[in-house]
Amino acid sequence: MEKSKNHVEVETRGQFLSFSQIRRWPEFGVILAFLVLLTIFSIFSSNFLTLRNITGILTIVSELGIVAIGVAFLMIAGEFDLSVSSVYAFSGFLFVTLANKYNSPLAFIITLAIAAFIGFCNGIITLRARIPSFIATLGMMLFLRGSLLAVTGGESVSYSSDAIMPTLLTRFIGYGFRPSHIWFLALTLIFSIILTNTRYGNWVFATGGNREVARAMGVNTNKVKVTNFMLSALMASLSGCIVISRFNLANASFGTGMELEAIASAVIGGTFLTGGYGTIIGVFFGAFLMGMMRTGLVMIGAPAYWYQTFVGAILIIAATINLKLRHLEM
Amino acid sequence: MQEVTSLAKMVDIEKNFRAVQALKKVNLEIQPGEILGLLGDNGAGKSTLIKVLAGVFPPDGGKIFFEGEQVSFSSPKVARAMGIETVHQALSLVDIMSISRNFFLGREPTRRIGPIHLLDKKKMNEECEKTVTGLGVRVRSPNEFVSILSGGERQAISIGRAMHFKVKLLILDEPLAALSVRETREVLRQVEKARESGVSVIFITHNVYHVYPVAERFVMLDRGIKIGEVYKKDASPEDIIEIIATGKMSKTLKT
């Protein structure tokens, strides 16, 4: 009697698990969407699957994707960073200014250090003032952007320094490929390994999944959060330096709205808005999907305005699917 | 100076939250291999007291001794490293993480590849599966999410985890809340097994019938004050309820 009852329990659980197994491949949905869009665009535009177009997409995707990886890594730890777009523009400006005065490697290092400090401030403000990071970083976003506009008066600054960092970051290396593509791929791999294969990654999941449990189990959740805020700012800063090196020009309005594109990439890639779950590979494809849509829609003849419409629709669908799967899981 | 026999001893512990005095000079002592029932109504200070012992809150006054040495735990991590572990119904496992990731949370084994330390996932899965199966919890794989487990299974895994990491003092905070009758019996059996292997257990509950079958001594708290302490041989469950309800020891029980 007892035995048969156990058996039934296992059986019902078996059915339940089929959803659970999909859930543990959260890249599944985004890769599927990626392939569908790729097919559609390739059919409707003969120029879509050309090396030139692919590398062009990759350039945009890399710059967005690097920011999105940082944002997602922090989101998994349970916090938002809306200030990335401002950090991105601020870093670009600082990099150009410092490089014109000194040299580009020094400018790059100082820029990253200051960005890390901004991330540190985001973390400390969120944790000490106990306000939601959404608000704390929204404040930081407006504060930085406003300062930048005020100081520069909206004027652009041209890059007129050595070629060291631009070469390392974004100058063509053949067949349309750029170092930024390699940076993006490498950072995807590194962050993916950190998240799934290190102790720190386990603490990030736990901090976002249930902060109280994580703390009770001896995880220093504040340290994890501050570290991730810093990483998020660092990634945004790196991306800012890349984009400025590509344009040879810094403008205070660069990257406006990018924070939402980064969050959208993360959510489309399967990251939970509520924290505790997500994958970097998913974010990689999420960012790719965004970049592909931007180019693809233009290439199949749709006006560029439709880009946001499609991103909005896909974002809602992705978030809904995430939530449904989560409820099945619970 | 200190009795060598007690595993943990809390002397004159005080804890304030702003103007509220949560603990007023509370004393608590636990012997090796003993199951102690810590009882009291909601808001009596039971959880606060054990959180002080587990390093979650620093006490505002008083001393803590563990294995005869005076200790001060700056974080749960320090207390855990010394062998004090708390199992709480809602605060022991992360729902949206796998069983094995939960099992080793904060104590993940690593293997070295050059200068890099990576999670030893194989070891994590094997050890977790062995322990979990030994507890009679049937799961397909240690990679399953904790959220599919029942309350009793979670409790079993939490206690099993503490045992796996050689806990000396196991603190159970309302371990039977929301458990079915069968699950309750399973957890109680596990608690007795822990005691048999030499572990001391502090069992916190507001329901004396939960703890009476397994504990040999009971401490009662009320509004931050220790109002009584009795051995099982001296008091029935009804006597203990009477102490909690009235807030004082009846004359017949005082020795």
Does the pLDDT of residue B152 top 90, yes or no? no
| Residue contact B96–A202, C-beta within 8 A | no
Does the pLDDT of residue A3 top 80, yes or no? no
Q: What is the pLDDT of residue B147?
A: 86
Which residue among B76, B143, B147 sits closest to A218, beta carbon to beta carbon? B76
Question: Could you tell me the pLDDT band of residue A23, with boundaries at 50, 70 and 90?
Answer: low
Q: Compute the average pLDDT of residues B200-216.
A: 89
Does the pLDDT of residue B241 top 90, yes or no? no
| Residue contact B95–A216, C-beta within 8 A | no
Task: From chain A, pick out residues whose CB is under 8 angstroms from the CB of B144.
Answer: 17, 20
Distance CA B2, CA B5 (A): 9
Identity of the highest mean pLDDT range in A234-243, A304-313, B47-56: A234-243
Question: Could you tell me the pLDDT band of residue A209, with boundaries at 50, 70 and 90?
Answer: very high
Does the pLDDT of residue A236 top 80, yes or no? yes
Which residue among A202, A213, A326 sits closest to B92, beta carbon to beta carbon? A213
SS (H, E, C) chain B: CCCCCCCEEEEEEEEEECCEEEEEEEEEEECCCCEEEEEECCCCCHHHHHHHHCCCCCCCEEEEEECCEEECCCCHHHHHHCCEEEEECCCCCCCCCEHHHHHCCCCCCEEEECCEEEECHHHHHHHHHHHHHHCCCCCCCCCCEHHHCCHHHHHHHHHHHHHHCCCCEEEEECCCCCCCHHHHHHHHHHHHHHHHCCCEEEEEECCHHHHCCCCCEEEEEECCEEEEEEEHHHCCHHHHHHHHHHCCCCCCCCC
Question: Could you tell me the pLDDT band of residue B200, with boundaries at 50, 70 and 90?
Answer: very high
Mean pLDDT estimate for chain B: 86
| Chain B contact probe: residue of A12, A22, A210 with most B CBs at under 10 A | A210
- pLDDT tens column, A288-301: 998 888 888 888 88
Chain B residue at shortest CA distance from A221: B106
Chain B: give the shortest CA distance to residue A170, in Å: 29
Task: From chain A, pick out residues whose CB is under 8 angstroms from the CB of B80.
Answer: 217-218
Query: Does residue B165 sit at the A interface (CB-CB below 8 Å)?
Result: no
Q: What percent of chain A has a predicted confidence (pLDDT) above 90?
A: 61
Chain A: give the shortest CA distance to residue B138, in Å: 8
Which are the contacts of A14, defined by CB distance < 8 A and separation ≥ 6?
B140
Q: What is the pLDDT of residue B184?
A: 87
Q: For A79-83, A325-329, B199-203, which range has the lowest pLDDT when averaged over its residues?
A: A325-329
The ipTM estimated for the assembled molecules is 0.85
Q: What is the pLDDT of residue A16?
A: 46
Query: Does residue B92 sit at the A interface (CB-CB below 8 Å)?
Result: yes
The predicted model scores a pTM of: 0.87
Q: Compute the average pLDDT of residues A307-323.
A: 82
Query: Does residue B124 sit at the A interface (CB-CB below 8 Å)?
Result: no
